[in-house]
Chains A and B, each alone.
Chain A
């Protein structure tokens, strides 16, 4: 078997390698992580392709543990000698490592939900396919004297984990992310659109680009209006971003129980303890995670980041459907295994996706029912200002419009905002139909009293 050419291993192939690695192990506990896949991308700017590439990778990481001392070694070669050497190296690093008093023994076998977030169409992407996707985006822009800059990245891969306590898990996964920024030739108008899919047949770069083109053309001649508190319609791309921080991910990323119990989170309670069970936002706000959702399927295990170099990587905990916020009430927080053990509670891992329940209205319906307000395509350069209140700052970008009597009246200059997602979700007016963004399902939201603090000349 020439493994270097076969970056996507089957479950059986992966298990065979992991079992072999484990057969060499002499440590108290050993875990193995095997990942592989192909990544391809195409980037264009100034109406021409600037870079394009593809890479495949297959890599194995071994973690050996003696007592509470652990060490990890990685390798890209798969002959028996190389595998055994890697196990020995991990054991050697572990023996010399400092003790981690928060080390938790590895998990035994787990039950995982049957999910296959994989698409043959995405696996079959070729360089020609990427070039065509870029062309479909560039062509309409060139024809209308607009300037396009965009990026598409596809990935097809698998992860298998196993350990000396007989845990084994396998997942294969595909994804495609696309974004495009279209600018007018004079640089006075700019529009943006982004899409992400599991199955690339659901991606139409021309359709997305046409939206960005409309926004670019419609945003020319932006007027300055006074900063202040406004009713806003935030498109899903203004709520979740995969290239920047974002208001909803900031909130979902701050629901760690330990931080809350240690007194340094928006979920910390005055006088000690947490705000679990308290109603912190509008009663229409319900957010849950569900790895089996067919629109945003995810791996049945993992979540919480980490990777081969530690820092809280995939420890084999199953992902399941969990309600985080129900009718505005905080229902769950996530735990490291150490903290859950110490507190005697279930070690719920952080979610791998989330779904915010919405309504049935389209964006157009939401605009129609707005007397006065501002439509926001997206935010940019979003950074935390105060971790206690989750106050964030950032700016509108690539299509900001003034709405009056149910119609878009004129483009407005970009604003800087200073706002907390918690305050925002208390000022909820209406919710539209959720759409996929950054691997999550998020509705457009109409929010009152959203805080814009200054104007920007940026286009």
Chain B
């Protein structure tokens, strides 16, 4: 196993979102090396990759494996950290190696090596078979693997316009310095800003006859602006309203055509982000938060922006519908799920109101979860999780779908590195937009007593995904169809089923955009994954809002 390091940041680093630090895989390399390595595939030509993969498949088979898959992976990462006028850290890293998974005696075995040579790969495959056979002695139920027709030799690439690794480091630093400078000029006391770039170059082969070569790109620009009033001893922060995306550096172009203008000078960003513009707004809003009115607790109609609602979807729909959680495989860590199989079997479990249509999707353009094939060779697809408010399906992989009476995997198997075992991970999970024409302004006009919430804030949900509490970045009070001012100390508490059944109105496709989670953690030892959640602005009626202000 290769080194996995964690960059620890203070709780003010990245909006206090990460508790374990930011994971970095593999070895440190120079930015110039990354320019050379990015987008080239795993560094060797396709025929050589196929030869190496076949070595693994044949070696495993000769030792008695009934199924084998092999992933030759090169994972590139570039992470940049700045505060005010200073560059704090630039991480450039590469992780390269092979992971081999086999089925023998009805049991899984996995082994990985950083030595990408025929001899080492053959030995690694033999080790995987030996582990499977050893584990099979403790077997209670043999693995049932859903069939998957081989797709032959295929290639898939994230359709990027600008490879982020090829953009000179200086250009990226210049952007972050401009972001920080504009934030300070507009009233920020402090600012940190970051860029995260990931390129996964994965060659997958299996005994089903699939040889899939994939080149996957992800970007995440973000910042945190702080405003401090020392006289009253108060500070407030405002995080970026960007979203991590399955795109190249073109996400940072800030195209006017991708902006969604809302009330109060607020701007939503679809598939293109203007980081400097957002930083200027953030500085002004962080200052405004210092004197914002504290919320009166009670029931409010909530108007939730896609950049906020994405996290609520992630926590209250994405996670509870992971089949491994439902079955109990995550009981000692992330927990189980309220969305049990018996509820699903009734075909009438009202997860939400009739307006709630939630889809799982590995094919949506510009998103983090989109690939050509998953990490067990299943072509990417789209399927319904909640239809007209009714729970209709889960997220399942090849060794789970039989439990649902299905014959085909959903294709949502993923490993975060070549040396980690693939397992069920969340696909993009999105709320469909409304079909009637409706903008945010139209929606707010219909609200008498409400709060308009924008951005990802504090979030917490129980281990079966019933009770949750969410904060946000910006809160605006709505009275009689109009925004009357900014609020502070807002969080809403609800129960998943009650909340989704209070879904009362959806904005239309023009307001639809995605939010994302770049470092979603699951499993022991923990693995990360990246996933997007789309929605249009949505209204929820009569939600319980608490006041989070305290004196110490």
Using CB atoms and an 8 Å cutoff, list the residues of chain A in contact with chain B: 39, 41, 43, 45-53, 55, 57, 59, 61, 71-76, 89, 92-93, 96-98, 100-102, 131, 147, 149-151, 153, 179-181, 183, 187, 243-245, 250, 253-254, 256, 259, 262-264, 266, 268-272, 280, 304-312, 380-391, 393-395, 397, 414, 416, 418, 420, 422-423, 453-459
Contacts and interface: CB of A to CB of B under 8 A. Distances in A.
A388 B329 CA distance: 37
Nearest to B83: A102
Contacts of A245: 19
B382 interface: no
Given A76-B114, A98-B87, A457-B467, A387 B231 contact: no
Contact of A46 (B86, B328, B495): B328
A152 to B, nearest CB: 10
B190 interface: yes
The residue in B93, B421, B460 that gathers the most chain A C-beta atoms within 10 A of its C-beta is B460
Given A306-B7, A397-B463, 10 more contacts: A46-B331, A59-B27, A71-B30, A76-B27, A149-B328, A187-B336, A244-B19, A280-B552, A311-B88, A384-B16
B235 A268 contact: yes
A164 to B, nearest CB: 19
Contacts of B469: 385, 393, 416, 418, 453-454
A150 B228 CA distance: 45
Given A387-B11, A395-B467, A456 B549 contact: no
B3 interface: yes
Contacts of B140: 47-48
Nearest to B177: A98
A93 B336 contact: no
B551 interface: yes
B1 interface: yes
Contacts of A422: 552
Given A147-B328, A150-B332, A183-B328, A270 B232 contact: yes
Interface in B187-236: 189-190, 226, 228-235
Given A183-B328, A393-B460, A422-B552, A311 B89 contact: yes
13 contacts: A74-B3, A76-B27, A92-B30, A187-B336, A254-B11, A268-B230, A268-B235, A384-B11, A386-B549, A390-B552, A414-B467, A458-B462, A458-B465
A393 B458 contact: yes
Contact of A306 (B8, B16, B333): B8
A45 B330 contact: yes
B552 A420 contact: yes
Interface of B: 1-3, 5-12, 16, 19, 21, 24, 27-32, 81, 85-93, 110, 114, 135, 138-140, 169, 173, 189-190, 226, 228-235, 237, 327-333, 335-336, 338, 340, 419, 421, 458-467, 469, 471, 489, 491, 493, 495, 524-525, 544, 546, 548-552
Contacts of B229: 263
Contacts of B228: 262-264
Contact of A45 (B92, B135, B329, B471): B329
Given A383-B459, A389-B552, A457-B467, A271 B231 contact: yes
Contacts of B231: 270-271
A78 B31 CA distance: 23
Contacts of B169: 96
Nearest to A47: B140
B471 A74 contact: no
A154 to B, nearest CB: 12
Nearest to A390: B552
Contacts of B331: 45-46, 147, 149, 181, 183
Contacts of A385: 458, 469, 471, 491, 548
A196 B86 CA distance: 40
B165 to A, nearest CB: 15
A254 to B, nearest CB: 6
A382 B173 CA distance: 34
A93 B78 CA distance: 14
A96 B31 contact: yes
A55 B1 contact: yes
Nearest to B232: A270
Contacts of A259: 10, 12
Contacts of B32: 96
Contacts of B81: 311
A389 B551 contact: yes
A264 B235 contact: yes
Contacts of B460: 381-383, 393-395, 416
A397 B333 CA distance: 11
A43 B550 contact: no
B28 A61 contact: yes
Contacts of B549: 386, 389
Contacts of A45: 328-332
Contact of B7 (A46, A183, A311): A311
The residue in A75, A269, A395 that gathers the most chain B C-beta atoms within 10 A of its C-beta is A395
A57 B3 contact: yes
Contacts of A397: 335, 462-463
Contacts of B138: 48-49, 131
Contacts of A96: 30-32, 169
A57 B1 CA distance: 7
Contacts of A380: 335, 462-463
B458 A384 contact: yes
The residue in A180, A380, A393 that gathers the most chain B C-beta atoms within 10 A of its C-beta is A393
Given A263-B233, A386-B550, A393-B469, A416 B328 contact: no
Given A43-B524, A74-B27, A309-B24, A386 B548 contact: yes
Nearest to A423: B552
